[in-house]
Amino acid sequence: MEPGNDTRISEFLLLGFSEEKELQTFLFGLFLSMYLITVLGNLLIILDTISDSHLHMPMYFFLSNLSFSDICFTSTTVPKMLVNIQTQSKVITYEGCITQMHFFILFVGLEDFLLTVMAYDRFVAIYHPLQYMAIMNHQLCVLLVLVSWMMSVLHSLLQSFMVLLLSFCTDLKIPHFFCELNQVVHLACSDTFLNDLVIYFAAGLLGGGTLCGIIYSYSKIVSTIRGISSAEGKYKAFSTCASHLSVVSLFYGTSLGVYLSSAAAQNSHSSAAASVMYTVVTPILNPFIYSLRNKDIKRALRRFFRGN
């Protein structure tokens, strides 16, 4: 690679977590086991919602899509990290980096949109219980998922295209375990003002917009629950959205934590370690949250394993 600016670079270096060789075996075993649990747990949720007729409802249709998104989300980063640890290599090709970044942005966005759609579903279920199945019909559910996919794909294509326009220098070390958008953009030698503008505008519009939608839905849910006279009725209404609220809190809480730690951390490895919370830990916990807190899922899982 020649010195100076080079728009035809061939590879980046992912620095990962640690340079210490004695930690590599531990990290490989840890992330391999977490990845397998994530895939198996979310795949079990998908198979359960498809095979059990009692779960053929809008809520579980969205849940199966969320589980699929979780599998894809974690699969964009962890397998490449495991390969790099096993081969003692930090290299990722330019094409591989752009591809990884594209799909990471896509599935983060999809997760965000699906959580918002699920909040709307819970709002309709509690605010309009008698009209729930009429409002959340199959056509609307499919349309909401398709729109979520379309918005996520368009956003990821925009961000990837903006990165393709950049020129890069010879210092191509990414202080992370995957090609994170902000890290890649700041390796560029060319002006990144437009990229930064698009990143923050999209984060405010998409991230802030979906969060506002979730907050609005739950404000209506809370006001409706407060109007229920019996304690048993209040508990039953709240229990229908407790799992979703836990997942939303986990997703946004870890994302905010990563952002704050990245801004404050002096050590790049600390930022990479913080990112594990929402790239690996959140997808692995989602199926446990739904299977432990949701009675319908627990009953369906028992039927699934018994073969009934």
Helix, strand, coil fractions of the chain, as percent rounded to 5: 75, 5, 20
Which secondary structure element, helix H or strand E, spans residue 12, and what is its range? strand 11-14
DSSP classification of residue 22? G
Residue 53: what pLDDT?
Answer: 82
Question: Model confidence over 208-250: pLDDT tens digits?
Answer: 999 999 999 999 999 999 888 888 888 888 888 888 898 999 8
| Strand 11-14 relative to strand 91-93, pairing | antiparallel
User: What is the model's pLDDT at position 4?
Assistant: 43
Q: What CA–CA distance (Å, rounded) separates 259 from 252?
A: 10
pTM confidence score? 0.90
pLDDT value, residue 2: 42
Mean pLDDT by 10 residues, the chain (308 residues): 52 82 85 95 92 88 95 95 90 94 96 96 92 95 97 97 90 88 90 93 91 94 88 82 89 79 59 78 88 75 71
Q: Hey, CA dihedral for 246, 31, 16, 71, is it positive or negative? A: negative
Side-chain half-sphere exposure of 91, counting CA atoms within 13 A: 6
Specify the pLDDT at position 261.
65
Confidence at residue 149, expressed as pLDDT on a 0 to 100 scale = 97
Q: What span, in angstroms and rounded, lies between the C-alpha atoms of 57 and 133? A: 8
Long-range interactions of 233-236: CB distance < 8 A, separation 24+: none
Q: What is the largest CA-CA distance in the chain?
A: 74
Q: How many CB atoms lie within 10 A of CB 151?
A: 16
pLDDT value at position 3? Answer: 41
pLDDT at 70: 95
A 10 A CB-CB count for 25 gives 11
pLDDT of residue 121: 96
**pLDDT in the model for residue 266:** 52
Q: Which residues pair with 168 in a beta bridge?
A: 6, 188
Residue 17 in 3-state DSSP?
coil
Element (H, E) at 136: none
The pLDDT assigned to 218 comes to 94
